Each structure stands twice: as structure tokens, then as C-alpha cells.
Structure 1
Amino acid sequence: MNAETPAQKILVLGASGLIGRFVTDDLRARGFDVIGVARKFSPSHRVGAFDLELPILAMKPAALARLIEDHGVDVVVNCLGVLQDGPGSDTGAVHHDFVARLLQAIRDSGRAIRLVHISIPGAPEEDRTAFSVTKREAERLIAASTIPHAVLRPGFVVAPAAYGGSAMLRALAAFPLDLPPCESGTIFRPVAVEDISATIAWLAGRDIDDASASSVTWDLMQPQKVTLSGVIEQFRFAFGSADYPQLTMPEFMLDLGAKLGDLANRLGWMPPMRATAIAELRRGVTGDPAAWMAATGIVPETISQMVGQRSATIQDKWFARLFLIKALVIASLAVFWIASGFIALFISYRAAAAILSSHGFPPSLVAPVTIGTSLMDMTIGILIAFRRSCAAGLIAGIAVSLGYMAGTAILTPDLWIEPLGALVKTGPAIVLIMVALLTLDSR
């Protein structure tokens, strides 16, 4: 097949993720007919006729086979993956069980299909987390099948977009913080997402019986060794923060951050700093890209080329600076609303009721209003704490705050000039809620 005139039809699973989205768009730009599939696309992805929203992880082999047959697929690219078990995330279900069903579907489709599977680098004997163990189980399932396949093991992926771990490293580069020496010195070989897509394009351009593209497992990463601190330093040069004085983070802060991240994970959030992320970070990113480079002729970009080929824009800088602050903003708002309602209801109930009584509220309404507003405040805080309901909680927080301000102006206007200025401070609080709402998107 002539690689200059792509004719293969490609199905990309997980087309809303960091790698999947780039690969889908890039392969289309190269002339391939690409169908992107994800459970859900964000509005900014501009879902069109060739992007499908499907409950892909819940689909049985027969449904997957029909998807492949109906669209005449020649190459399946599996970019699906989750970092850690949590609400709605099951590493075993995504990495092992789904791959088993996908392999069965490819066999049942009756078509000659090449499977390109995105995995992780590293030696199998070093696998310690559910993430890495189940990723490796999927590799073994694929290797045992008779399906032409390529298992790609990318290093730390550097892309124009940032999500998860790539966003966290950008955030560290924007702040005067260094990781502890043990983590800073870890080997951490990166790869440009463009090199991943170029590899998939090369594979899609091979005939199905081409031995050089069948049953291969390649490490995709720059051949030069680089440490984690070296990767972060490149981002610092791009952000213009390389000359900032650096404060070394104590070891316990990483472990504390992982515990807080795991707690947030139970509330439906997917923070990059979780136990699995820290364990994989400490493991490092190693591999040997020689076989990949020899087969494809691709010369991977180095980290200095990936990051240094363009100056960081103001969008890059704002994102990096706000990424870690976003979690602090949401957490502080949740605590604020819950604490304010709890204090008024259980600790300072009499004082809260006395404020209403002293401003002419009918005695029969003092208790219901005090109890009702306290419960409402705590409910807003709980809504903000959970990822699924956070947007509703933030919007409710703005509405209730405006209601408090308007109601007070009508019923007890003198509270606006009380010494501590509690109501005056409500305005900046609303602005902070708006910041949280506007930065809520994670992709």
C-alpha cells in the first residue's frame, strides 16, 4: 500500500483523551478516514458525523463487531485507559476485560484488521499498581491472539493539550517548587504526541501481512536519558520561570497530596496527584526505542525540541498557574459553605437567631429561617464537593449569595455597614465562585 495515498479506515477508541483526540485529528489531516469513538465528547471537540458517542466500555463483543463491520474498519486504535480505580473507573474492566471483548469482536467481524494498542513502558516485573498490572495483562491477551497487532508503549507524552500528569508537570514548572531529590532524579523519557500519531500512520500504511508491522511491541520515547527534573526544567525555560528561586518540596507533601487526591477521587474527581500517579512517577519512564526507530525510520523529538519549538503563550502560562489553584478554590468553597451552615446551625445557633430577632424578624420565622438557610448552605457545599454536582452547586451558590444580598438590602439594610463587613465580602466570594465555574472543565 502506498503510504502517500491513505485508504485505510481507522477506528480510534478513546478519541476524547489526550492521545486519542490528537491522533484522531492528525490522522484525518494526513488523509485517513477516521472514526473517533468516546463515551462523551466535550463541546469544544466539535463532534461531527465521524465522531460517535457510544457507551464503548459497556458494549458486548457482538456490538463491537457490528461497529467494526458497519464502518468497514481496517485498523483499530485503542487509546482507552484509566489511572486508578474509583467511582466510574475500574482499571481491570477498562484494561483487561474490554480488551478481551475487543479481541473477540475483531475475530468475529470477519475482517482483516490490525490492532494498535496504547500501553505503558517499563519492565513487567516492576509493575506494582493496579494500573500497570492490568495494562500488562492486556498486552499478554493481545500477544496470545492471532490478530495482527502493534503494542505501543509511549513515554511521558508531551502534547499541545495538557491533561492529568502532563498538566501537573506544567503547573510545577510555573511555581517555584522542586520535587524531592529522589523523585527529581528519576529517569523520565518523554515522547511527542506527534511521533505517536506518525507511528500509527506508518502502521496504517502497511499491508496486513507485512511482517515488519505485525506482532510488534515498541517503546516510543526519546533515546537520550533525561530526568524528571530535566523535563520540568524545559517547561520552566518555556514559561520564563527558570530563574525563579526554587523551594524543594518535602517528601511528605507528595504522600499527603496523594492521600488528598485519593479522597477527591472518591468524590468523583480525577486529580493527577493520586497514589497511583505518585507510584508511577517514582518508578520513572524507561525503555528502549531502538526497535521502533529502526522499523519506522522515525527520529523522535527530544524534550528540548518538543517544548522549545515555540514560546509559551499567555494561555499556557495562565493554565499552568491556575491548574493547582483550581483544586484549592473548589475545596475552599466546599468547606466554606459546609462550615458556615454547620456553625450557624450547631455552634452559634443562638447568635445567628439573635441577629434576625434584633432586626425585626417575626419570632415565628426566626427558627425556620435560621435552620433553613443553614441547611441550604451545607447542601451547596456538599454539591460543590462532588464532581457530578459541582456545577449545580456553584450556580446555586451564586444565586443564594445574590439572594442574601438582595434580601438583606430590603429587610435589614443596616447589616451592610456592620463593622466586620460580612455582606460586603459576599461580592468577592461570588467572583471566586465564578472563577471556579469558568475553570471547571478538565478537557
Structure 2
Amino acid sequence: MVGTKKILVLGASGLIGRFVTDDLRARGFHVVGVARRFSSSQAAGADDLEMPLVAMDSGALARLIDTHDIDVVVNCVGLLQDVPGSDVGAVHRDFVARLVRAIRESGRSIYLVHISIPGEVVSDRTDFATTKREAERLIASSGIPGAILRPGFVIAPAAYGGSAMVRALAALPFQLPATESGVPFQPVMVGDISATIAFLASREGGDKSTDAVVWDLMQQEPVTLGGVIDSFRCALGTKALPRITIPAFALDLGARLGDFAGRLGWTPPIRSTALAELRRGVRGDPSAWMAATNIVPADAVRATGLRGATIQDKWFSRLYLIKALVIASLVVFWSLSGFIALFVSYDAATDILRSHAFPPALVAPITVLTSVMDITIGALIAFRRTAAFGLIAGIAASFGYMIAAAILTPDLWIEPLGALVKTAPAVVLMLVALVTLDNR
């Protein structure tokens, strides 16, 4: 039965979607993975398709289902918070509405597995949560056979967003405030999610017992967010590190800064929605899921604590938050250096060129041109879409300054403040930012 089922995974580049796609294939299912974009390391072959899923109408989605003779659709598409060009309502509610219509239009007997979020509806406070519930209601009222899965805090080999932040907090000498550290935070191993989908996909056609189920997927044992972080500390070997408690106001400030970074195209793990969901906690009752599937969820906290971290785990965890600091410092460095030379110390900047026998007619144009170039590089680095180009331009400009100075004003290399000597570490910092730019 397994070999005959064809599964369509939507959002196959994400934390859950990528693991599920690969794991179901390993179990013998024919899986078509679809995402807006795959990273170069994710695209596994012809059955991984790049498509603008959220922009596709119901007809296009129906053709996708028909073309590949799909039996099961797994929807892992999700968005934590609005970003330029997309919002949570369009991703969660509107897309699911079109997906439901597409399944009906396909004329096929399709089983729909939808990945949602745990928690009580009365505690939904964010657009993320409310639109997720709207999607659940659309599916429940559609009459389409399927399952709504509500996984807890997902622990996977990969780390994006919140799971990356937990690793970073475990690696660095910081401690969450007692209120946040003590919230319920029931985790689940991503393998248990995939095993559940495999169970559902393997059901016989006449089995109606799973045609309209809503299951919480998480370990039974109660645990807090602080407990989850402690398990990663055990794995990373940082249990004995002294800790500085982060003030609650610093978390709120970090969330606002994260919201600002989100408007520039970045996806920082701490934004107002993430903080609100973190403070609500992750809780549920997995008993119905366990009884129906006979799956005994792994003790995710214990499993994490017992697994020794690899060196790449340690480097990632330590660098995750530092990466944001590196990007921000480079934006400030380039923008301020150009702004100061152009608006604050213009006369001093031009005097430096005049004192080194620059042609008078070139002094003003070169000062203005280099200042505007510096500001432009800072702006390019600030936006996620252009950050790579900005970093490359910054490296090229730095080498250009160093070579030009060596030819035209070699004495600047030995001036007391060492301005040109300090350019070399800035180049190295830009290289670090460039090679750590990928999120997936």
C-alpha cells in the first residue's frame, strides 16, 4: 500500500516540510515536494518543484494535484508574521481556501493533512494564531477527509527561527526571565510528525476513522521553556556557564527591533508575534493521537540532552545571534562613514585629499562620490534581498580604497590611528557575514 500512495508536500523547504519530504521518501512513498524556493542543498531532484504556491489559484493547484496523480496532500505552508509582499492571512486562510477548492475541483479522492498550531482558541491573540484557526475551520467545514495536526515545539536536526533561538540561548551566557522561562513548552521530535503522516497516508481507503481528526502532537511529560533550553545546554556542554538574566523590557525591545528587521526582508526569530506566542506557551493533550496511532512520542528533552552536540552544532548556536550583530554593525559602519564624511566632517575629508597633493578639481567630486558609495553599500546590506550584493560591493570598495591609498597616499598606511590598517579586519567581517548569510 505504501508504494502506491503519492503524496504532495506543500511548503517542502521548511523545518517540518523538508524533513517530512525526505523521511516519507525513505519510507517508500512517492513524494512530490513543492515550495516557493529551495536552497541549493535542498533541491533533491525532479520531484522537488519550485512554484509560487501562495499566489496560485485553485485551478492551478487542482492541475498540480491531477498532473501528479496525488492521493494525499500535506500542507506545511506557514508564516509567523507579515513580511514585505506577503501576510499571514494570505498564507494561512486564503491559501487554504483555494487549496480546499482545488481538492474539490480535482475530482479525486484526496486526503488532506494540515499542519496547524497547538493551544486553546480562547488564548489566540496574534494574527498568526487567529488565521491558523480560520484555516482549521475552513477545512473542518469542507467535508474533505483529512487530519489537522497540532505539533508542539518542534525539535529537528535543522534549526530555523524559534528552534535556532533556543539553541543560541543555550550556547550563550543568557537566561530568560523567570516568567518566560517557566511557561509550559511541550516539544515534539519532527520524526514523530513524519511517522504520523506516514500512518495517515497508509490507511486503507475504506477506513473512515481518521477522516476528520484533530490531534495534538507532543510529548506527554510536562516541561517548560527553561527545561527545553537546559536540555540543549546539556548537549552543548554549557550547563555550567554563569548566566545573565535578560530583562523583560530587553525582550520587548528586541521584538520591536525584530519587527523593523522584518520590514527589511529579514526573518529574525524574535519578533512581536514570536514573543507573544512564546509567552503563551505550548501545551496540549496528545492522548487521542497516541491512542489512534500507537505512536509513543519520544521524550524530546531527554533525547536532546543525551545527544552530544557536534562542532557544527556548537558553531551555529554561538554564531546565530552574533550574525545579526555583524550585519547591523556593518550597516552602521558603512552608512555612518559616508554620512560623516559628507555632512559632518566634509571640510576635514577634503583637507585630507588636498594635503596629499590631489588635483583640486577632483577633491570635491571624489569626496562626494565615495561618501555616497559608502551610504549606498550600507543601505544594500540593510535589506535582505540585496545584502549579498552589498557585502560583495563593500569588500570590493575596501580593496579599492586600500589599493588607491597604497598608490596615491602610501603614508596613510602608517598614520597613528591606522585607519587603513583597520580596513582589513572590516573586510574579514564582511566575509563572515557573506558566508553565514543563508538561513537554510
Fold match (TM-score > 0.5): yes
Which residues of structure 2 form unaligned runs of 5+?
Answer: none
1:75 lines up with 2:47 in the alignment: no
> Could you tell me which amino acid in structure 2 is paired with residue 81 of structure 1?
G
Q: 1:94 Cα deviation (Å)? A: 0.4
Q: After the TM superposition, which residues 157-168 of structure 1 pair with which residues of structure 2 at under 5 Å, given as runs?
A: 157-168=154-165
Q: 1:311 Cα deviation (Å)? A: 1.1
**Residue in 2 that maps onto 1:373:** 370
**Residue in 2 that maps onto 1:118:** 115
**Residue in 1 that maps onto 2:308:** 311
TM-score by length of 2: 0.99
1:34-74 CA-to-partner distances (Å, cap 9, x unmatched) read 00000110001134111000111111111110110110000
| Residues 185 and 281 in structure 2, CA contact (< 8 A), matched pair in contact too | yes
| Alpha-carbon distance in 2 for matches of 1:56, 1:244 | 45
Q: 1:362 Cα deviation (Å)? A: 0.4
1:256 lines up with 2:253 in the alignment: yes
| Residues 10 and 35 in structure 1, CA contact (< 8 A), matched pair in contact too | yes
1:341 lines up with 2:307 in the alignment: no
| Residues 122 and 285 in structure 1, CA contact (< 8 A), matched pair in contact too | yes
Q: After the TM superposition, which residues 126-275 of structure 1 pair with which residues of structure 2 at under 5 Å, given as runs?
A: 126-275=123-272
TM-score by length of 1: 0.98
> Could you tell me which amino acid in structure 2 is paired with residue 390 of structure 1?
A
What is the aligned-residue identity percentage? Answer: 70
| Alpha-carbon distance in 2 for matches of 1:209, 1:246 | 56
> Could you tell me which amino acid in structure 1 is paired with residue 239 of structure 2?
A
Q: 1:397 aligns with which of 394, 398, 407?
A: 394
**Residue in 1 that maps onto 2:285:** 288
**Residue in 2 that maps onto 1:93:** 90
> Could you tell me which amino acid in structure 1 is paired with residue 37 of structure 2?
K
Q: 1:88 Cα deviation (Å)? A: 2.5
Q: 2:420 aligns with which of 418, 423, 438?
A: 423
Q: 1:437 aligns with which of 429, 434, 437?
A: 434
Which residues of structure 1 form unaligned runs of 5+?
Answer: none
Q: 1:309 Cα deviation (Å)? A: 4.7
**Residue in 1 that maps onto 2:14:** 17
> Could you tell me which amino acid in structure 1 is paired with residue 316 of structure 2?
F
> Could you tell me which amino acid in structure 2 is paired with residue 214 of structure 1?
D
Q: 1:210 Cα deviation (Å)? A: 1.6
| Alpha-carbon distance in 2 for matches of 1:56, 1:95 | 12
Give the 3-state SS of the residue equivalent to 2:374 in structure 1.
helix
| Residues 6 and 205 in structure 1, CA contact (< 8 A), matched pair in contact too | no
Q: 1:318 Cα deviation (Å)? A: 0.2
| Alpha-carbon distance in 2 for matches of 1:68, 1:14 | 15
| Residues 238 and 311 in structure 1, CA contact (< 8 A), matched pair in contact too | yes
Q: 1:176 Cα deviation (Å)? A: 1.3
Q: 1:308 Cα deviation (Å)? A: 3.3
**Residue in 2 that maps onto 1:49:** 46
Q: 1:428 Cα deviation (Å)? A: 0.5
| Alpha-carbon distance in 1 for matches of 2:207, 2:278 | 36
1:373-411 CA-to-partner distances (Å, cap 9, x unmatched) read 000000000000000000000000000000000000000
Q: 1:246 Cα deviation (Å)? A: 1.3
> Could you tell me which amino acid in structure 1 is paired with residue 266 of structure 2?
W
| Alpha-carbon distance in 1 for matches of 2:140, 2:429 | 51
Q: 1:209 Cα deviation (Å)? A: 3.7
Q: How many residues align?
A: 440
| Residues 74 and 114 in structure 1, CA contact (< 8 A), matched pair in contact too | yes
Give the 3-state SS of the residue equivalent to 1:388 in structure 2.
helix
Give the 3-state SS of the residue equivalent to 2:209 in structure 1.
helix
Query: Greater shift after overlay, 133-142 or 245-254?
Result: 245-254
**Residue in 2 that maps onto 1:300:** 297
> Could you tell me which amino acid in structure 2 is paired with residue 85 of structure 1?
D
1:151-195 CA-to-partner distances (Å, cap 9, x unmatched) read 000000000000000000000000111101100000000000000
> Could you tell me which amino acid in structure 2 is paired with residue 73 of structure 1?
I
Q: 1:213 Cα deviation (Å)? A: 1.5
1:291-345 CA-to-partner distances (Å, cap 9, x unmatched) read 0000000000112343135210000000000000000000000010000000000
- How much is the aligned-residue C-alpha RMSD, in angstroms? 0.8
Give the 3-state SS of the residue equivalent to 1:213 in structure 2.
coil
> Could you tell me which amino acid in structure 1 is paired with residue 261 of structure 2?
A
| Alpha-carbon distance in 1 for matches of 2:205, 2:115 | 19
| Alpha-carbon distance in 1 for matches of 2:18, 2:155 | 13
1:97-134 CA-to-partner distances (Å, cap 9, x unmatched) read 00000000000000001000000000011100000000
| Residues 227 and 301 in structure 2, CA contact (< 8 A), matched pair in contact too | no
| Alpha-carbon distance in 2 for matches of 1:187, 1:208 | 38
| Residues 234 and 306 in structure 2, CA contact (< 8 A), matched pair in contact too | no
| Residues 233 and 305 in structure 2, CA contact (< 8 A), matched pair in contact too | no
1:337-357 CA-to-partner distances (Å, cap 9, x unmatched) read 000000000000000000000
1:413 lines up with 2:407 in the alignment: no
**Residue in 2 that maps onto 1:358:** 355
